[in-house]
Amino acid sequence: MKNRLLILILQNIVLFPNQEVKLEFSNDISKNIIDRAIHQNSAELVLVASKNEEGNVFGVEDIESIGVLVKIKNAIDLPNGKLRVALRGTKRIKITNLKVLADGLIEVETIAIENPLYNLDEELAYSRKLKEMTRSYVEINRGVSNTILDIIKNVTNLSKLTDMISASLEFDIREKMKLFKETDHYDRAKMLVTLLSNEVKSIKLENKIDEEIHAKFEKSEKEIIIREKIKMLSDELGVDSDKMSEAEIYKKTISELKVDEKIRQSMYREVRRFELTMDNSPEYGSLRSHLEFITSLPWNKSSKGESDIEKIDEQLNGLHYGLSKAKERIEEYMVLKKKNKNLHSPILCLIGPPGTGKTTFARELASSTHREFVKVSVGGLNDASELIGHRRTYIGAGAGKIMEGIRKSGVNNPIILIDEIDKMVKDYKGDPSSVLLEILDQNQNREFVDNYVQEPFDLSNVLFILTANDESKIPRALYDRLEVIEVASYTLFDKIEIAKNYTLPRLGKEYGFDHTKIKISETVIAKIVEEYTREAGVRDLERKISTIIRKILIKGLDKTVTIKESDLEKYLGNDTYREYENYYETSGVVNVPAFTSSGGCLINVEVALYNGVEKILTTGSLGKVMQESAMVAVSYLKDNCKQFKIDKKSLSETMHVHALDGATPKDGPSAGLGIEVAILSAILDKKVPNYCAFTGEISLKGRILKVGGIKEKLISAYNAGIKKMYIPRENEADLGKVPKKVFKDMEVKTVNCFTEVYEDIFN
């Protein structure tokens, strides 16, 4: 590295590459170093240990020649005036050319230390040996967490492996310093093998001595002596006897839990720490909270659930309209689960516009199958710790949303809804989607380790259902693990069905009246949908119907009330949305359906030509893709002037392309065909029929390319009164998803090239 970096000298702390620590600084020099590094050196600095282990003042001569390049992940000013900094080591470096600055800070140049090449088989043998010895060390050392075994399990790089083991295990600071200063990873591995071997022998000897001492006492005498000692120590230290009885309760609870013996022993160790911790210790509260949490987890407690498929199907259809694919997939799983108890639960992801019943479906599924329901909303989530939990070393640490939800549900097989996964945010706090990979991956979630719980918990019995509005915003690695079920916009016919058979009965239960006494015809519901709502789902429709019912109930419902079209203005006021009408009577205007996160809609694309320099103006909040579509359309016409009988000079004028509803941003590869038709209409001065609409992208050679959202676009065009729709021939397979009622009043014509459209519209 050629850039100069500031160094930070620390005493009795060794930071290895790939290790992360949080430190607090109170002195101005350290704060100044951190601040300068963040603002001038891309949040990088060099961390070194001091040769002087006892002094408080460090000079250039005290600086070790080997340091670690550090990335500052975040820095927070605390109310007490201290600065809390999260540091992550990236790689070892050799320090050269020290320079003391005017303000007393030290700046250095560094050289990266490269690992020498060794025999691959030999390195692999050392890696296996180190992992084996680390496992032996963890198994006999009760004070070391077994999470290090999961961390190093898949590490094959010998250099990285030695650093991770050195950083994680409880070695003397001098030994850690020796390991850090050894730049040859092969020699470092040898040192680590020797150190681990000595530690294992030492701990085994200590355990043997303890066993010999304890063997001298009979069980009853031992208990009496220990209890008397604890009582005397408790009285002397002022430890409340209630805490001792509370510890006994924890022990009893742990003994009754159906958990792995290793997990049970780990819990007992926590109770022993709790017993020996004084009430005024900062650790007392965190130990108590942790014990309460882990002992209340449903380690092996499951809900039986409903297994009768016919009952589940009947109840689901009675509570929720549509989503036939999701219901069918759940029924398949329930049938196969009865035959194979070890069958993995499917990970369903419902993708569709807001208000189409995705969340409601998950809730009703839990009710139908008699399983507990947990909702985890990740919309706007940017902190991965919210899902995987905070480490207990932090003040106010707690479990992640998944484990917290399981604890509240009381069973280990609830239905967990993870809502709005397309709205997660990746930033310096972490990537929540990467944590979801571990939670959802069927090969990993059998031993999911929450940072707060610190013990593996089996999530394989959980049925995960995810929801999203925009498929394109789901991270690809996460998307690959999901069974995607598309939830399309509701048609007018769907909304009428939902209002009659689902919304009215539900509101009857909610407001406590006989819903059969309020009559709303299909015509009235259709008028509410078309003139008072504009949505893909039915939320606003339910609100409008609820408004009508409340006003009727306030006046009193003594007899059957029939709501007429003429009553809507009295109950709902003036209509919000007029039925779509094509007012234009001029050339250069076409109808183009659009697909948005709220469903489908219809917009007008207008084109105007006037004298001036040759350029294309685009307005109406058109994105880059639509602007390029306009340029492609013009270039195609220039290349085929003779075929379309147009003067090439007309394409050399200023051309203005505008999309109505200009406040709404528009982008995507689907408007090219409509723009092409509008431009040609303006040049030929021939009006395009009002009842026609166009969707499809156009290429430089006139090909009409496949687009998305065909179902929503056709439904929106149908609702707007369009009688003829042009779509790409490549989208012909998508027509099977469109309700058959749409085709009764609207002709759908598939085209492969623009000349087909030209012949049909302009000849």
Least Cα distance to 88 among 149, 151, 44 occurs for: 44
Confirm whether 713 is a catalytic residue.
yes
User: Cα separation of 694 and 757, whole Å?
Assistant: 10
CA–CA separation, 649 and 147 (whole Å): 74
CB 466 within 8 A of CB 421: yes
Q: In the structure encoding, which two tokens stand for residue 713, read together?
A: 């676009």
Where do we find the tokens 């700046």? 107
Q: For residues 399 and 402, what is the distance between their CA atoms, to the nearest angstrom?
A: 8
Residues near 414 by beta carbon (within 8 Å), at least 6 away in sequence? 303, 366, 371, 372, 373, 374, 405, 406, 462, 463
Tell me how far CA of residue 323 lies from CA of 314, 317, 360, in angstroms.
14, 9, 11
- Per the CB < 8 A criterion, the answer to whether 191 and 217 are in contact is no
176 carries an active-site annotation: no
d(CA 400, CA 479): 22
Q: Tell me which of 127, 670, 681, 716 is the catalytic residue.
A: 670
8 A C-beta contact, residue 747 and residue 739: no
Catalytic entry in 303, 345, 713, 716 = 713
Q: Edge-to-edge strand order for the sheet containing 463-468?
A: 373-377, 415-419, 463-468, 348-351, 483-486
Q: What is the DSSP string of 246-280?
A: HHHHHHHHHHHS---HHHHHHHHHHHHHHHTS-TT
* Chain Cα centroid distance, residue 281: 37
Q: How many CB atoms lie within 10 A of CB 722?
A: 23
Continuous H helices in 595-732? 624-639, 641-644, 672-684, 710-719
Torsion angle in degrees (nearest 10) through CA of 696, 700, 702, 703: -60
Q: Which residues pair with 66 in a beta bridge?
A: 94
Active site residues: 670, 713
